[in-house]
Amino acid sequence: MSLDLPLIWAAVIAVAVLMYVLLDGFDLGVGILFPFAGSPQDRDVMMDSVAPVWDGNETWLVLGGGGLFAAFPYAYSALMPALYIPILLMLMALILRGVAFEFRLRGRRRGKRFWTAAFAVGSITATVAQGFVLGGFIQGITLDAEGRFAGGRFDWLTPYTVLVAVGLVAGYALLGAAWLIWKTENELHGRARLWAWASGGMTAAMLAAVSLATLFVHPRVASRWGFQDGAFDPERLLALFPIPVVGLAGLALLVVGLLRRSHGWPFLGAFLVFLSGYLGLAVGFFPNIVPYDMTFRDAASPDNALGFMLVGVLILLPAILGYTAWVYWVFRGKVSADAGYH
């Protein structure tokens, strides 16, 4: 029996991107909520809550990019030029917010104010740019016969992608708020609850709007969900039904958790909402890795390259997940200004 290496690698990349969205999602979300903090002390605590882990979270983005380069080079070389502007915008925004973690502590009055703003603006811009990347990806990439990008430089900028970008900002804010409910106390904790209500409501509304819009964006996606040429096939929808159910369960968990003043459940609820949204989008374009003209098989590296890397993944990925979990364990519990935390 020979392994289906491209399929395994598609799964590895999908997991890396999901990990990125969930993990960097909450620390970008903390940045999105930065302007709404009540006091400079609260901002310090918000940043402290993610400072030990943000770098590891962002590494999943490097695995997503590096993994795509290594396992699916033809997809990588088609997608990156197509999404040139939002990707570079994202990278520059990530630079500004990434250095803000250290720079904000070293700055005096003016410097601190500048890097506080840079952290917020960088986080929001990076999220918006990721929304454009995601939206541009789902609405489809124009390729020529050789599988090279052949579209326009602003293809990624449409009403649909704007909708996705706004939705992603709301979603990351929800993850960030739920993280802060889990990790903080007192006034900031109370404020995070309000943020979770607001961003949770917006996320639910945007998720519904994006879901509907996605059905209109590409007929292929609609047919996956059972809507084809005006006809409706309930069996198809039923087969995919667990996906929205997970999302609804996540929302329910969020609402019940918030009502019962739980500290941990809202975060899990937000996680499930993201999982559902992620899977819901993925079924729309799978097995394409560059929608809708290049499948993951067309884009894959030769089997010897994939096999060589798979050996590494099988050994290293469990180790990475293990020590990542350990780091979160080390920094478990509430963060507060007077904990002598660092």
Partner 1 sequence: MEFDALLLSRLQFAFTIAFHIIFPSFTIGLASYLAVLEGLWLTTRNEAFKTLYLFWIKIFALSFGMGVVSGVVMSYQLGTNWSVFSAAASPVIGPLLAFEVLTAFFLEASFLGVMLFGWKKVGPGLHFAATSLVAIGTIISAFWIISANSWMQFPQGFERLADGTLRATDYWQVVFTDTFPERLAHMLLAAFLTTALVVGGASAWRLLKNREDQESCIALKMAIGMFAIVAPLQLLVGDLSGKEVLEVQPAKLAAIEAFWETRTEQPFHIAAWPDRAAEKNHWEISIPKIGSWITAGRSDAEIKGLKSFAPEDRPPVAIVFWAFRVMVGLGIAMILLGLWGAWLIWRGGGPEKHPLFLKAAVVMSPTGFVAVIAGWIVAEVGRQPWVVTGVLRTRDAVSPVGAGEVSGSLLAFMVVYAIVFTVGALYILRLIAEGPKPVPAEDTEPPLKPRPPGYALGAAPDAPEEEVRR
CB of 101 to partner 1, least distance (A): 6
Residue 204 DSSP SS3? helix
Q: How far is the CB of 312 from partner 1 (least distance, A)?
A: 5
Exposed / middle / buried, residue 20 (Cβ in 10 Å: 0-12, 13-18, 19+): buried
Q: Which is nearer to partner 1, 169 or 290 (CB)?
A: 290
Nearest distance in Å: CB 236, partner 1: 34
Helix (H) or strand (E) holding 75: helix 73-82
Nearer to partner 1, 48 or 163 (CB): 48
Q: Which amino acid is at 283?
A: V
In whole angstroms, give the CA distance from residue 57 to residue 49: 13
Query: Minimum CB separation from partner 1 for residue 98, in Å?
Result: 4
Closest CB to partner 1 among residues 150, 246:
150
Q: Which helix (H) or strand (E) covers residue 257, if one does? A: helix 242-259
CB closer to partner 1, 13 vs 207? 13
User: What's CA 318's distance to the chain center, in Å?
Assistant: 21
Nearer to partner 1, 108 or 260 (CB): 108
Task: Provide the b/e sequence for 293-327 (b: ≥16 CB within 10 Å).
Answer: ebbbebbbbeeeebeebbeebeeeeeebeeebeee
Please, which residue, 219 or 333, has the CB nearer to partner 1?
A: 333
Nearer residue to partner 1 within complex by CB, 17 or 253: 17
Rounded to a whole number of angstroms, the minimum distance from the CB of residue 305 to partner 1 is 5
Indicate the residue among 103 and 292 with the shorter CB distance to partner 1: 103
Q: Which is nearer to partner 1, 166 or 337 (CB)?
A: 337
SS3 302: coil
Distance of CA 236 to the CA centre of its chain: 27
- Residue 109: which residues within 8 A CB-CB, separation 6 or more? none
Residues 6+ apart with CB under 8 A from 322: none
Least distance to partner 1, CB of residue 294, Å: 12
The type of residue at 14 is A
Least separation in angstroms between CB 291 and partner 1: 17
30, 46 in Cβ contact below 8 A? yes
Closest approach of partner 1 to the CB of residue 21, in Å: 16
Structure tokens at 100: 């803000």
CA distances from 151 to 85, 144, 155, 160, 219 (A): 13, 9, 7, 17, 20
At closest approach, how far in Å is the CB of 337 from partner 1? 5
φ/ψ region of 147 (left if φ > 0, alpha if ψ in -120 to 50, else beta) reads left
Which pair of tokens denotes residue 155?
Answer: 């293809």
